[in-house]
């Protein structure tokens, strides 16, 4: 008998959310999806999911929650773009803070058994902290996006203490894989795939020596399933602990695709983080999770999906 019979996935028509929906349906869990389709796409949606097009900011959303009363909520709906958060911090906070607080508050009152919240790794930790960042590093977000994600974690912690509603906040590294759109927080692989497959000039920002930690979406889905099944509470990094430069990504993808044009660089954005990677030791210990998909394999699978698209 599964512990959870019904799940709500907010942002379930998006890149990562739609893969979580698929995994839950494979486990015979009844899945509800709320998504306003601002960056998501109905094409991503599993036909067996019960979809409602709605913003989590809609005043009707709490009523909807009461009606479906899910056993577990995977909360992914968010303003996902760090750069946009700098341009419009209140807009970011409306969705990422107020939307998440609504979920923490309403789900806590409803007696939802668990919330798996989607947080972020890189923007959470202060620059200069030892890499790979561990959860022991005190958070020090400086972007509105990082601040809103940290605020939401704290509200879920509040709901845990006040309503006794357990939560797991998964702090992802740069997630990549099929269905990613180029608008996301970490769309470099999807941007390169689209441009290279079109034979269009592909731009690397800055020197390209900046590093990121790339984790494949199937590994992220397994982390969500472990967060659902294990009796744990708190924040967990989900990354590979490895740094890969953007130049390396460019060269690996160029080779797989057979892209002919030379590397081109454009000026980097002010304040761009130069190095980032997340330790996954805590997830390994408490969630029994570690990344399994090698970068080359993940890139090949991703490129194959873009080729079919």
Beta carbon of residue 99, minimum distance to ligand NAD (angstroms, whole number): 6
Q: Cis bond leading into 132, ω under 30°?
A: yes
Of 37 and 101, which CB lies nearer to ligand NAD in the complex structure?
Answer: 37
Is 84 a binder of ligand NAD (CB under 6 A)?
no
Q: Toward ligand NAD, which CB reaches closer, 16 or 159?
A: 16
Catalytic residue, candidates 117, 125, 145, 259: 145
Nearer to ligand NAD, 59 or 258 (CB): 59
Among 7, 8, 9, 17, binds ligand NAD (CB under 6 A): 17
Q: Which stretch binds ligand NAD (CB under 6 A): 130-138, 177-185, 241-249, 289-297?
A: 177-185
Please tell me whether residue 177 binds ligand NAD under the rule CB under 6 A: no
145 flagged as catalytic: yes
Asked if 238 is part of the footprint of ligand NAD (rule: CB under 6 A), the reply reads no
Q: How many residues bind ligand NAD (CB under 6 A)?
A: 32
Binding residue (CB under 6 A) for ligand NAD from 9, 31, 80, 277:
80
Q: Using the rule CB under 6 A, is 55 a contact of ligand NAD?
A: yes
Under rule CB under 6 A, residue 125 binds ligand NAD: no
Question: Which residue number places its CB atom closest to ligand NAD?
Answer: 40
- The distance of closest approach from Cβ of residue 28 to ligand NAD in the complex, given in angstroms and rounded to an integer, is 24
Catalytic sites, residue numbers = 145
**Which residues form the interface with ligand NAD (CB under 6 A)?**
10-11, 13-17, 34-40, 55-57, 76-78, 80, 95, 99, 118, 120, 172, 174-175, 181, 184-186
């Amino acid at each position: 008998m599964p512990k959870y019979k019904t799940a709500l996935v907010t942002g379930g028509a998006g890149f990562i959310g739609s893969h979580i929906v698929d995994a839950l349906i494979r486990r015979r869990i009844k899945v509800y999806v709320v998504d306003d389709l601002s960056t998501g796409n109905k094409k991503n949606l599993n036909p067996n999911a019960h979809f409602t097009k709605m913003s989590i900011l809609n005043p009707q959303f709490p009523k909807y929650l009461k009606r479906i009363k899910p056993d577990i909520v995977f909360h992914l709906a968010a303003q996902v773009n760090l750069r946009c958060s700098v341009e419009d911090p209140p807009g970011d906070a409306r969705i990422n803070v107020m939307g998440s607080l609504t979920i923490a508050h309403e789900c806590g009152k409803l007696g939802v058994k668990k919330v798996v919240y989607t947080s972020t790794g890189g923007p959470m930790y202060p620059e200069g902290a030892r890499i790979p960042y561990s959860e022991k590093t005190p958070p020090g977000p400086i972007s509105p996006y990082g601040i809103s994600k940290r605020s939401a974690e704290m509200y879920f912690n509040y709901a845990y203490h006040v309503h006794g509603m357990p939560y797991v906040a998964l702090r992802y590294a740069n997630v990549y894989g099929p269905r990613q759109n180029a608008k996301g927080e970490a769309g470099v692989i999807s941007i390169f795939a689209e441009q290279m497959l079109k034979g269009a000039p592909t731009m690397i920002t800055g020197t390209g020596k900046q590093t990121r930690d790339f984790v494949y979406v199937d590994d992220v889905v397994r982390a969500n399933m472990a967060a659902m099944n294990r009796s744990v509470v708190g924040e967990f990094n989900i990354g590979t602990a490895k740094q890969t430069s953007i130049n390396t990504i460019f060269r690996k993808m160029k080779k797989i695709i057979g892209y002919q044009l030379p590397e081109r660089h454009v000026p980097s954005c002010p304040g761009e983080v130069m190095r980032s990677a997340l330790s996954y030791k805590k997830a390994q210990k408490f969630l029994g999770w570690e990344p399994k998909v090698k970068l080359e394999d993940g890139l090949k699978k991703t490129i194959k999906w873009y080729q079919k698209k």
